Amino acid sequence: MDDFIIRGISLHGEVTVDAAVSGGKWVAVSESLGAGYGDEIDGAGKILLPGVIDAHVHFNEPGRTDWEGIATGSAALAAGGGTAFFDMPLNSSPPVLNASGVLEKRRLGEEKSQTDFGIWGGLTPDSLGTMEEMADEGVVAFKAFMCGSGLEEFGMAGRKVLAEGMKIAAKRGIVVGVHAEDESVVSRFMPTGASTSIAEGMRQWFASRPVEVELAAIRIAIDLAGEAGAKLHVVHVTHPECLDLISKGRAEGVDVTAETCPHYLLLNTESGAMIGPAAKCAPPLRDKGVVEALWAALDQVETIGSDHSPSPPDMKTGGDVFAMWGGIAGCQNGIELACGLALEKGISLEGLSRKWRTNVFRRFGVDGAGIEVGADADFFLLEKGYGVIESGEQRSRHRFSPYVGMERGWRVSGTWLRGEPVTAKTRGRFLRPAK
């Protein structure tokens, strides 16, 4: 491992520094450093940002590597600035519902992942008796669905199961992440007529899951977390009204935080209808005005995760949008696009980057830090890169993403893990909550 120094780089897009790395760690970050730090890298015109910990991906291994897989998923993540991911318990097959599921996924991650990784366990009607053993094996959090997950083997957590699971998680001090959409409310908004086009079908999909569906579930989850004393993290929040509800819960003493995803900041119902099935997800995209309001309410968001959830392209085709797989492949381009837009809006990248790095470490209880002396040199560089995002540059198995075809102002030019550029040969480490 060579020592090196990046000269004249813009830290977080805010202040020009020299930043030196030795033994895989930051050893000096300062306005101007002298000689003797090893290889020289010219950072002029580039922005230095801390590596992304994407706390929400579905790489689907074992069992559904035809959808993605750890090798291609982690390669896509690293191409987008990622140095670690926390993998959801679904849609691997079997899903992670017990200790052997954690151990098997850990083994595969250590064999194939180009970045560090952590593992979510499932909180379902089938796992209440095995949550403790998953905690023993180091899961970073438990995931529960408050509506159907789309997969039979990962059951919905109704009120009773969620309450019970939260108590177990609280005892172990582990976060519970909920997919907050209320099944009983979803059914109220289902469209009656068939759609005449894909764009129309997409609009019907957006209308079928309005914010009321999220709000109803978040209310229940906050109440249950308050009763259980659990740490609640509401994943993929789409709307400022949800953030207000979560902030209110926190003000009332519940340990509740929110995650949002780049696609809720970058896409809307108009662009999503034009993009088509690549932009189908749940909760769905929101109207332009809501997206702007979400940007304005970002200080209420604790973490940003991609919810990268690809499928084979043939699960995104046909005439019926409701029957297609819902999931966005976004772990490669989401952060660079969000950074570009934030720079246009005059929003601090330092603040934004906390949501994918230090806030993630803190919320999930995993050790780690941002760009500071003594911390691991996990980082990426952004460079001005006008031009269209191409399918051919995608590292995801199916090279299929709602961002393909979009113009970008900035692009990730390289990602380093513990001071080494991430390549196909890089292997990451298993991350778990600190004791």
CB nearer Zn ion, residue 18 or residue 181: 181
CB of 58 to Zn ion, least distance (A): 6
**CA dihedral sign of residues 207, 213, 218, 219:** positive
**CA dihedral sign of residues 40, 41, 45, 48:** negative
CB nearer Zn ion, residue 12 or residue 316: 316
Amino acid at 154: F
CB nearer Zn ion, residue 214 or residue 307: 307
CB nearer Zn ion, residue 55 or residue 417: 55
φ, ψ of residue 351 to 5 degrees: the values are -65, -45
Peptide bond into 95 cis (omega under 30): no
CB of 422 to Zn ion, least distance (A): 23
CB nearer Zn ion, residue 180 or residue 228: 180
CB of 8 to Zn ion, least distance (A): 39
CB nearer Zn ion, residue 18 or residue 54: 54
Using CA atoms, how far apart are residues 316 and 312, in angstroms rounded to an integer?
7
CB nearer Zn ion, residue 272 or residue 370: 272
Rounded-to-10 torsion of CA 279, 282, 287, 291: -90
CB of 88 to Zn ion, least distance (A): 5
Burial class (CB in 10 A: 0-12, 13-18, 19+), 76: buried
CB of 426 to Zn ion, least distance (A): 25
In this structure, are residues 302 and 258 in contact, taking their beta carbons and an 8 Å threshold? yes
CB of 146 to Zn ion, least distance (A): 13
CB of 386 to Zn ion, least distance (A): 31
CB nearer Zn ion, residue 182 or residue 307: 307
Residues that bind Zn ion (CB under 5 A): 307
Peptide bond into 94 cis (omega under 30): yes
CB nearer Zn ion, residue 76 or residue 371: 76
CB of 286 to Zn ion, least distance (A): 17
CB of 380 to Zn ion, least distance (A): 23
CB nearer Zn ion, residue 330 or residue 370: 330
CB of 423 to Zn ion, least distance (A): 28
**CB-based closest residue to Zn ion:** 307
